[in-house]
Chain A
Amino acid sequence: MMERQESIAQKFDLYACYQCGKCTGGCPVTLRSKLNIRRLVLQGVLGKDLERLNERLELWDCTTCKTCTLRCPRDINPMNLIIGLRSTLVEQGHIPRTLIDALESVYKHGNPWGKPRNKRTDWIKELPDPLKVKDFSQGEQAEFLLFVGCTASFDPRIQEIAKALTYNLHRAGIDFGILGNEEQCCGNEIRSMGEIGLFEELMQTNIEKFETYGIKQILTSCPHGFNVLKNEYPQETFTVAHGTQLLARCLEEGKLSFEKEIKKVVTYHDPCFLGKQNGIFDEPRALLRAIPGLTLKELDRSRERSLCCEGGGGRMWVEASSDSGPRLAEIRVKDAIELGAEMLITACPLCVLTLEDAVKTSGHEEHIRVMDVMELVAIALGRPQPSSELNP
């Protein structure tokens, strides 16, 4: 027994911990979960109380927002400890059913949503002809690879954002293509869920695809995909940018001009994987500030202090372990309403889904609307809208 626990402390480099508690102090889910990351690190160091891990459902509450790691004054990565414990559970196999379904789906279908691979590009069929999207898997070539992502490919709400992004890229004169039905999960959530073997296979296959098609520049509008491509994939052969980075640059270079006014008061929610983890705060704001008529207000918990919406770390596929405490996304929605915002804007598909869900469950559908930066940009660029789109 002693051998094993020592190796946890060594493996995750926990010995430097002096139990200051800054990790737990910043952990967003402590409002509503038994998860206490400070105590977990201590248990890791002492080699105590780590039996019957599969009964500790709170291990799945972690959203991998990385606040603990960012705040740690001793450069420890407690988030990695959680992922490590999750991987032990994954190997044992006794994990929540919904996670099994999502993981098996990624293995079989290349996406966690149970959708067949050959339907991955169905969203493109709904685009009007001038917005034709190039497809590397069909032999076409382009300067950028747009890595669409599983959620944008299959979730009807997020498909709308993908379509808006496509419009924006065309208007900005960006030459891009997609991997089509050969695109498969980037693996960010898979890695956070602890299925390291599957993550490695996904990464391997994706890198081979990038090489096959000579891809040097990747852009994506999903911060989860952006995060894993930038920080976990080997960085020798390609660079990766988030959609807001690329378009903010285009704006600066005068390649985009906003014609249509959007007279709304909005606030921006910094997604954890874009903001605090990768330092991209200004580009989305630059785009929003450039939209005529738009008033951008800042939430108190903005930028590095942005409150996690609970969409990451596999949370889209597992229930919170406890019913107590408010949903963080609902807190965020209330904050936005109290701020006087008519719209809550963000730049991440999982944030859009969880925040929209929170608007519904907290009964605020009349008071606030959740949209992605890309959607506002498209409207401001004058994209033709169906009548029910935006009520000015």
Chain B
Amino acid sequence: MKEILVLAEHRQGQWRDITFEMLSKARQLAESFGSEVHAVVLGKGVANSTEALRPMAHRVLLVEDERLEAFNSETYQTVLAQLITERKPLLTLIGHSTLGMDLAPNLAVQLKMPLATDCIGVDGKDGSFVLTRQIYGGKINSTVLFNKPGPYLVTLRAGAFPVLQKDSLQGDIISLPSPLTDGNLAKRFLGYVEAALGDVDITQADILVSVGRGIKGPENLPLVKEFAEAIGGTLSCSRPVVDKKWLPKSCQVGTSGKTVKPKVYIAVGISGAFQHIAGMKGAETVIAINRDPKAPIFGVAHYGIVGDLFKIIPVLKEKAKELRQK
């Protein structure tokens, strides 16, 4: 059957956004060559939650097993390998997430399936696919082709595909038996750890002033913090700032930090590496200040200022303070 399988991703009882992004893209692809979208759900006690997927899938394939309660690439790989071998879907989509990165390369080697990772574009062509991926830190797009026939495995970048309006497919939920047995796993899940909570929850802020490497050093943070305070905003940052320990991890916006959807996101000295952009694309208004006119951040910004932040922020701060006093 030439369906498109989509591995629905969930964690701690919540569907992750990428699930709906993938289902949307699969839907679009399936329409273009008259095929179907089958969502695959692995877990324990998730049956009720699959309702949320039904509008967007022709079928929901559910495998429930105690051993699938928390993600473990070994158990997931066993189940998926069997599903794919039996059903031979034209294409299987997995998120290029920490789950997908742990799972897809191994699954591909086991089943000898061609794999393209972290794709921002997928188009069908002559029974195969044309993928778009970014290289060189997002500065270049590459068009990638498969060298072999399918079934194909593709991982999709989070936030790269829009979520379509919920459809009305209302696919049936089909429970499939779990092929897992009580064997010893070489890798065992022990638990989760929440990252230490900082003072502020940046995901709740309406206005974020975010700093990147361009801030040059922690001694320049007070200046930006004052500006943030003057406009009633909260300070956040990109990954390099946390790696250098200038701000705590709780401030980090990006794929390995937090996803934020503020009303206004002011990116100060942030180049806009995709891992960062993924965490803030949902912001309603993005204003970017950067010295480099070619900085990728300008690609997602609604307003851009090419200039020296050390000249602009002090003035912004003063003017904001003046406004406050009025």
Contact = CB atoms under 8 A, between A and B. Distances in A.
Tell whether any CB of A sits under 8 Å from a CB of B in the complex. Answer: yes
B44 interface: no
Nearest to A316: B217
Contact of A319 (B217, B222, B223, B308): B217
Nearest to A96: B244
Nearest to A356: B310
Contact of B244 (A98, A357, A360, A361): A98
A97 B223 contact: no
A361 B222 contact: yes
B199 interface: no
B314 interface: yes
A156 B308 contact: yes
Nearest to A156: B308
Interface residues of B, number: 8
A360 B222 CA distance: 11
A49 B214 CA distance: 39
A60 to B, nearest CB: 14
A360 B314 contact: yes
A319 B244 contact: no
Nearest to B243: A97
A42 B257 CA distance: 48
B314 A319 contact: no
Contacts of B218: 319
Of the listed residues B217, B308, B314, the one surrounded by the most CB atoms of chain A closer than 10 A to its CB is B217
B219 interface: yes
Contact of A98 (B217, B222, B223, B314): B217
Interface in B4-19: none
Contact of B314 (A97, A156, A365): A365
Contacts of A97: 244
Nearest to B314: A360
B229 to A, nearest CB: 15
A360 B311 CA distance: 11
Nearest to A320: B219
Contacts of B244: 97-98
Interface in A328-367: 357, 360-361, 365
A357 B219 CA distance: 10
A365 B313 CA distance: 14
A98 B216 CA distance: 10
Interface in B216-239: 217-219, 222-223
B216 to A, nearest CB: 10
Contacts of B223: 360-361
Contacts of B314: 360, 365
Contacts of A361: 219, 222-223
A319 B314 CA distance: 22
B140 to A, nearest CB: 17
B230 to A, nearest CB: 14
B211 to A, nearest CB: 16
A106 B222 CA distance: 29
A215 B223 CA distance: 45
Contacts of A319: 217-219
Contacts of B308: 156
A2 B24 CA distance: 72
Nearest to B213: A114
Interface in B186-242: 217-219, 222-223
A189 B222 CA distance: 27
Nearest to B244: A97
Nearest to B246: A319
A28 B223 CA distance: 26
A357 B314 CA distance: 12
Contacts of A357: 219
Interface in A161-203: none
Interface in A108-165: 156
A361 B317 CA distance: 13
Contacts of A365: 314
Interface in B250-302: none
A88 B244 CA distance: 23
A361 B226 CA distance: 11
A361 B308 CA distance: 17
A105 to B, nearest CB: 13
A365 B311 CA distance: 12
State the 7 A-B residue pairs at the shortest beta-carbon distance, nearest first.
Answer: A156-B308, A97-B244, A319-B218, A360-B314, A319-B219, A319-B217, A360-B223
14 contacts: A97-B244, A98-B217, A98-B244, A156-B308, A319-B217, A319-B218, A319-B219, A357-B219, A360-B223, A360-B314, A361-B219, A361-B222, A361-B223, A365-B314
Interface of A: 97-98, 156, 319, 357, 360-361, 365
Given A156-B308, A361-B223, A365-B314, 9 more contacts: A97-B244, A98-B217, A98-B244, A319-B217, A319-B218, A319-B219, A357-B219, A360-B314, A361-B222
